[in-house]
Structure 1
């Protein structure tokens, strides 16, 4: 994170375990494999990358996400999850607060069926996902990137909203399809690398613009 003249930035990547553990409904957890590929590739030299695997448990998410923000004070947190319905790499624009009825891996569901009682119904990421999508698509990668406004009202959406609420919008969520449907781990890793670097660029330019306006 840029603060007090410190040039190094920190990015936290939190990958969701699949619904029934690392394997369960999919032969492998595509999101975790894709993040491991990203780790191999790395990001640009001025970025410190921290990777975590997040259990599919509401109560763990409520403890872990604030703890990660407190520990790292990162410039950005990017959450990655696998979607069995996805055929593209999908950038989620927002997280939702209510409608969580599915049981997690501990057979638990919040009694309120919401992330933050009294919180706004929806929180948008401060990152312009349309711009990120256009930029990544223009790079000519062999991966299709699309936009979504509904992360699914399960642990992906719950995690995203929790992180957006904690960070005042300085979070992102990327859904990837199962491996081989149609992309390889290497393709997904390269896509994540390009997406995150474009997110950082968009975030930095928007902050520079805000700072410039404040100076005037």
Structure 2
């Protein structure tokens, strides 16, 4: 079983491409014969992690890929690390704005993704989809969910999971905007490619994808 999650809209955006991409990726993977469920998470600290944990208890997935929006990025970002820190620049959809709080009280400082992110990057490149390994998932609800996911998977041996950020959709931006974007079908195929890689890759490859700063 594969579990995919995206987010409801937040901030000033009327749509969240992460949820649209997840729904389309679910359909792509189902057409290939995979058992896949998709879940829209609230953009709310605490509530989002609780919904994710409830879904994992119900579905008992083998692979979990959570997806969020990183407006301004131009690539499918494969997040490497989740940190135990909620530090919100803007309020969430429930008006909460935690500052310098732990996601899980007393939890480890950080968790690494258990997805084969380097192999996934290579497969994105082969497919002609812009991808990158990202060293930071931020400190907003996306990182909150990423950390909560990896904390839960620490007690679920054999289950692989991680987080992906996607760009804006072209239709979210004004004409001739300089802000990067990506068509929905490309995003969805990128998510599906990451899932296929996770299902077919036992040991990740070595590929340079670090950052100087």
Aligned-partner SS, 2:21: helix
The corresponding residue for 1:167 is 153
Contact kept in structure 2, 1:91 and 1:146, CA below 8 Å: yes
The corresponding residue for 1:16 is 7
Q: Distance in 1 between matches of 2:168 and 2:10?
A: 13
Deviation, 1:112, is: 6.4
Going from structure 1 to structure 2, the CA distance change for 1:120 and 1:57 (only over 3 Å counts) comes to: same
Going from structure 1 to structure 2, the CA distance change for 1:136 and 1:62 (only over 3 Å counts) comes to: closer
The corresponding residue for 1:128 is 116
The corresponding residue for 1:104 is 92
For each residue in 1:188-212, what CA deviation from the matched residue of structure 2 results, as whole angstroms up to 9, or x when unmatched? 111211121112212xx249xxxxx
The corresponding residue for 2:210 is none
Going from structure 1 to structure 2, the CA distance change for 1:188 and 1:112 (only over 3 Å counts) comes to: closer
Gapped runs of 5+ residues in structure 2?
A: 171-179, 205-213
Contact kept in structure 1, 2:20 and 2:184, CA below 8 Å: yes
Contact kept in structure 1, 2:49 and 2:149, CA below 8 Å: no
Contact kept in structure 2, 1:79 and 1:160, CA below 8 Å: yes
Contact kept in structure 2, 1:101 and 1:113, CA below 8 Å: no
Q: Distance in 1 between matches of 2:41 and 2:86?
A: 21
Q: Distance in 2 between matches of 1:123 and 1:86?
A: 23
1:1-216 to 2 correspondences below 5 Å:
10-20=1-11, 24-25=12-13, 27-43=14-30, 45=32, 47-102=34-89, 103-110=91-98, 113-138=101-126, 140-141=127-128, 143-168=129-154, 170-180=160-170, 181-202=180-201, 205-206=202-203
Q: Distance in 2 between matches of 1:30 and 1:105?
A: 17
For each residue in 1:70-90, what CA deviation from the matched residue of structure 2 results, as whole angstroms up to 9, or x when unmatched? 111111111111111211111
Which structure 1 residue ranges, 4+ long, deviate > 4 Å from structure 2? 43-46
Q: Distance in 1 between matches of 2:79 and 2:9?
A: 18
Contact kept in structure 2, 1:28 and 1:179, CA below 8 Å: no
Going from structure 1 to structure 2, the CA distance change for 1:31 and 1:62 (only over 3 Å counts) comes to: closer
TM-score, normalised relative to structure 2: 0.81
Higher helix share goes to which structure? 1
Contact kept in structure 1, 2:5 and 2:38, CA below 8 Å: yes
Gapped runs of 5+ residues in structure 1?
A: 1-9, 208-216
